[in-house]
């Protein structure tokens, strides 16, 4: 089969940007396959020591654009503050700190501390004094610290102003001046922002040296013949949204786009568990396997492929009626490129897009650049889902009911005699069998909904932006279970719940206690005597954390860990009741 050669701009892979090998290893673990445009352009400049101004929309990957090169350049063996990142809010500061931690996962001597209001100052100060190399702070709280300890920032070599426009909107101008004055002049300063109002240019002129500018702007694009819709959703509800939308969308073949390898596996597993013929396509998949997947999609052995942009490059399958943007693309060009997979050969295509609250602005940019509104749709409720199920079943049965040559006439007679029942009784029994695992009453569908929801309430404070691998580094067994396919598929439950044989345990230590996933992991490995793959997902929250541990031998494990301390505090791990 010939494959279309596409004219996409060359993107240098991560390993050509001069990043430190430990950082590269961490990127692979997090599942990023290729740098986003702002990353491609900023990383070499920061690596070369330039000051810079980076302008790009929310959701374009600005955090890694500065975190990766800066981590590559710090002196990991010096235990002193070297990097200061300023972020507008506590949430953003925590997100950036967690991202730094995941990118520094292979740099055991590097520590990150988040400094923000609403938490005691003592532990924050102590973490800085203990030699954390990376400080991520909100300006207000940092100024409080400075008023007591003026020398706190005297060893800083890298300063990042993240989401600079937001910081100014929140009135942090004066605080920023105080912070600049408390910092050595010999430093590298980078500023990232979605917009560059004159106030920010003013700051740049005064405090940056000869800054290089990087701007990710968009040219107008045309999209035709494609019916587009978007749905607002929180990141932790994405799988739920995908499952429900697939029930009501009439598709032949679909390609779903996500950002990371892990997400291709997670989503494909969730769909497979519901009986869809689906495969994941990511950069780890060998070329011949990739071709097999594409061929299967062409001939209908597969109906859905969940892919990263890299893996989908060059994929051209006329059967595709739907493109599902499960994670936002980085820019409008890539959106247009993605949805161009459908509507081929003059056919109507449909494009769906999930938008998390922080990505609203990107949605607007896409609309502006394409000159088209992308209609908002709502999550289908139980009633709509039930109707769709009945419609599908009806469509499936219609030709069989009309089939005059049905070969089962004798079998019917035999069964009704054997079972001593009417044809209607038998029909009911057969219906029960074909609908097994899927509700066909309103009540039943409603009761299914909570099952569809991936993970429970422990999840509300998750990063709402679709990225994974921040706070949930750790065993990833659940996505890639070996027992794929088979007829039992429909009955399996959503795989994003717990992995088999694992239970969740909770500790009251979280981000605010200075705990990171690798601290927890280290403590449990060392003192619990477990192997690495016995430990499942680790979720670090603000005021608590959850760890998946093997159910077998849990009691004795917990008693081994009875006196374990993490970040100077008692771990006190307990089994966590799911509801
Ligand atoms: P911004 O700061 O521009 O708003 P973020 O840095 O918060 O964007 O990144 C948005 C999301 O994209 C995050 O979930 C992040 O993990 C993910 N992401 C960033 N860079 C990449 C990449 N190269 N590949 C895959 N996902 C990425
Ligand atoms: Mg950001």
User: 316-337 pLDDT, tens per residue?
Assistant: 788 999 999 999 998 888 898 8
Q: What is the per-residue pLDDT for 536? A: 83
Q: What is the per-residue pLDDT for 183? A: 95
The helix or strand, by DSSP H or E, that contains position 546, with its residue range, turns out to be strand 545-550
Q: Are the CB atoms for 260 and 326 separated by under 8 Å?
A: no
User: 530-554 pLDDT, tens per residue?
Assistant: 777 788 888 888 778 889 899 888 9
* pLDDT higher than threshold 70 for residue 362: yes
Q: What is the per-residue pLDDT for 486? A: 33
Phi, psi of 155 (to 5 degrees): -105, 5
* pLDDT higher than threshold 90 for residue 568: no
- Domain for residue 545, yes or no? yes
Residues 505 and 403 in one domain: no
Q: Are the CB atoms for 498 and 541 separated by under 8 Å?
A: no
Residues 181 and 251 in one domain: no
Residues 41 and 155 in one domain: yes
In the numeric block, the tokens 């005691």 are attached to 120
461-465 contacts, C-beta under 8 A, 24 or more apart: 461/541, 461/542, 462/234, 462/235, 462/236, 463/95, 463/98, 463/235, 464/234, 464/235, 464/236, 464/356, 464/357, 464/358, 465/59, 465/235, 465/356, 465/358, 465/359
Q: Are the CB atoms for 251 and 341 separated by under 8 Å?
A: no
Residues 247 and 203 in one domain: no
How is residue 60 annotated by DSSP? S
* pLDDT higher than threshold 80 for residue 495: no
DSSP for 322-344, written as a single string: EEEESS--SSHHHHHHHHTTSSG
- Domain for residue 462, yes or no? no
Under DSSP, is residue 85 helix (H, G, I), strand (E, B) or coil? Answer: strand
Residue bearing the CA closest to ligand 1, atom 2: 62
Distance 63 CA to ligand 2 centre (A): 5
Antiparallel, parallel or unpaired: β 502-507 and 545-550: antiparallel
* pLDDT higher than threshold 70 for residue 11: no
Q: Structure pTM?
A: 0.61
- Domain for residue 455, yes or no? no
Residues 407 and 553 in one domain: no
Query: Which comes out higher in pLDDT, residue 472 or 366?
Result: 366
Q: Are the CB atoms for 573 and 561 separated by under 8 Å?
A: yes
What does the block give as tokens for 523? 């403590």
What does the block give as tokens for 421? 């029942």
Residues 104 and 44 in one domain: yes
- Domain for residue 23, yes or no? yes
* Tally of domains within the chain: 4
Residues 243 and 360 in one domain: yes
Q: What is the per-residue pLDDT for 543? A: 79
10 pLDDT band (50/70/90 cuts)?
low
Mean pLDDT of the chain: 85
**Residues above pLDDT 70, as percent of the chain:** 87
Q: What average pLDDT does the segment 384-410 reach?
A: 89
Residue bearing the CA closest to ligand 1, atom 13: 467
**CA–CA gap between residue 355 and residue 464 (Å, rounded):** 10
**CA–CA gap between residue 271 and residue 523 (Å, rounded):** 35
Nearest to 500, CA basis, from 539, 573, 550, 574: 550
Distance 6 CA to ligand 2 centre (A): 30
Domain boundary residue, one of 359, 376, 393: 376
Q: What is the per-residue pLDDT for 224? A: 66
222 pLDDT band (50/70/90 cuts)?
low
Within 6 A (CB) of ligand 1 lie 32, 35-36, 39, 58-64, 259-260, 465-467
User: 249-307 pLDDT, tens per residue?
Assistant: 999 999 999 999 999 999 999 999 889 999 999 999 988 898 899 999 999 999 999 99
Candidate from 41, 354, 467 with most ligand 1 atoms within 8 A of CB, to mutate: 467
Distance 181 CA to ligand 2 centre (A): 24
Three-state helix/strand/coil letters over 169-223: HCCCHHHHHHHHHCCCCCCEEEEEECCCCHHHHHHHHHHCCCCEEEECCCCCCCC
Residues with C-beta atoms within 5 A of ion ligand 2: 62
Q: What is the per-residue pLDDT for 141? A: 95
480 pLDDT band (50/70/90 cuts)?
very low
Q: Let me know the angle formed at the C-alpha of 243 by 237 and 244, rounded to the nearest 5 degrees.
A: 90
**What b/e readout covers 410-436, taking b as 16+ CB neighbours within 10 angstroms?**
eeeeebeeeeeeeeeeeeeeeeeeeee
- Domain for residue 459, yes or no? no
Q: Which domain range does residue 46 map to?
A: 3-215
Task: Please report the atom of ligand 1 found closest to the CA of residue 38.
Answer: 3
Residues 406 and 482 in one domain: no
**CA–CA gap between residue 440 and residue 434 (Å, rounded):** 11
Distance 561 CA to ligand 2 centre (A): 37
Residues 410 and 504 in one domain: no
Residues 403 and 271 in one domain: no
Residues 295 and 433 in one domain: no
User: 152-201 pLDDT, tens per residue?
Assistant: 999 999 999 999 999 998 899 999 999 999 999 999 999 999 889 999 99
- Domain for residue 456, yes or no? no
Q: What is the per-residue pLDDT for 347? A: 65
CATH number reported for the structural domain that contains residue 364 in this entry: 3.40.50.300
Domain boundary residue, one of 190, 215, 240: 215
* pLDDT higher than threshold 80 for residue 66: yes
Q: What is the per-residue pLDDT for 257? A: 97
Domain boundary residue, one of 376, 408, 440: 376
Q: What is the per-residue pLDDT for 308? A: 95
* pLDDT higher than threshold 80 for residue 477: no
User: 390-400 pLDDT, tens per residue?
Assistant: 999 999 899 88
């Amino acid at each position: 089969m010939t494959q279309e050669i596409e004219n996409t701009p060359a993107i240098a892979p991560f390993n050509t940007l001069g990043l430190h090998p430990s950082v590269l290893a961490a990127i692979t673990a997090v599942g990023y396959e290729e740098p986003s445009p702002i990353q491609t352009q900023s990383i070499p400049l920061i690596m070369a020591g330039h000051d810079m101004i980076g302008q790009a929309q929310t959701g374009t990957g600005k955090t890694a654009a500065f975190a990766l090169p800066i981590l590559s350049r710090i002196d990991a063996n010096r235990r002193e503050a070297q990097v200061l990142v300023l972020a507008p809010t506590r949430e953003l500061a925590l997100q950036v700190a967690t991202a730094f931690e995941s990118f520094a996962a292979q740099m055991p001597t590097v520590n990150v501390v988040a400094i923000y209001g609403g938490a005691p100052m003592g532990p924050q100060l102590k973490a800085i004094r203990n030699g954390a190399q990376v400080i991520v702070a909100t300006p207000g709280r940092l100024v409080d610290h400075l008023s007591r300890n003026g020398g706190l920032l005297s060893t800083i070599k890298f300063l990042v102003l993240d989401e600079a426009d937001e910081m100014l909107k929140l009135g942090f101008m004066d605080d920023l001046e105080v912070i600049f004055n408390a910092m050595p002049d010999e430093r590298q300063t980078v500023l990232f922002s979605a917009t560059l109002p004159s106030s920010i240019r003013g700051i740049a002129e005064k405090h940056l040296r000869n800054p290089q500018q990087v701007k990710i702007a968009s040219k107008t694009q045309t999209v035709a013949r494609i019916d587009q819709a978007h749905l607002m959703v929180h990141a932790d509800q994405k799988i739920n949204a995908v499952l429900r939308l697939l029930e009501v969308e009439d598709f032949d073949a679909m390609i779903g786009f996500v950002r990371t390898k892990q997400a291709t596996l997670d989503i494909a597993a969730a769909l497979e568990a519901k009986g869809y013929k689906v495969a994941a396509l990511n950069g780890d998949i060998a070329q011949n396997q990739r071709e097999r997947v594409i061929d299967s999609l062409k001939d209908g052995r597969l109906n859905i492929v969940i892919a990263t942009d890299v893996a989908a490059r060059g994929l051209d399958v006329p059967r595709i009626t739907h493109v599902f943007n499960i994670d936002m693309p980085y820019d409008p060009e890539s959106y247009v490129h993605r949805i161009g997979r459908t509507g081929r050969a003059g056919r109507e295509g449909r494009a769906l897009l999930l938008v998390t609250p922080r990505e609203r602005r990107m949605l607007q940019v896409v609309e502006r650049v394409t000159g088209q509104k992308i209609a908002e749709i709502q999550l289908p409720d139980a009633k709509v889902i039930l109707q769709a199920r009945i419609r599908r079943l009806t469509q499936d049965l219609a030709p069989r009911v009309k089939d005059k040559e049905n070969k089962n006439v004798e079998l019917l007679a035999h069964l009704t005699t054997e079972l001593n029942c009417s044809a209607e009784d038998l029909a009911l029994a057969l219906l029960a069998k074909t609908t097994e695992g899927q509700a066909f009453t309103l009540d039943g569908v409603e009761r299914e909904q909570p099952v569809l929801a991936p993970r429970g309430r422990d999840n509300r404070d998750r990063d709402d932006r679709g990225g994974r691998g921040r706070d949930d580094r750790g065993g990833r067994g659940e996505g890639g279970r070996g027992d794929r396919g088979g007829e039992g598929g429909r009955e399996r439950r959503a795989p994003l719940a717990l992995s088999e044989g694992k239970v969740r345990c909770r500790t009251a230590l979280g981000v605010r206690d200075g705990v990171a996933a690798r601290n927890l992991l280290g403590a449990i490995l060392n003192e619990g005597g477990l192997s690495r793959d016995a430990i499942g997902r680790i979720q670090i929250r603000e005021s608590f954390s959850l760890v998946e541990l093997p159910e077998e031998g849990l009691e004795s494990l917990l008693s081994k860990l009875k006196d374990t301390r993490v970040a100077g505090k008692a771990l006190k791990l307990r089994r966590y009741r799911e509801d």
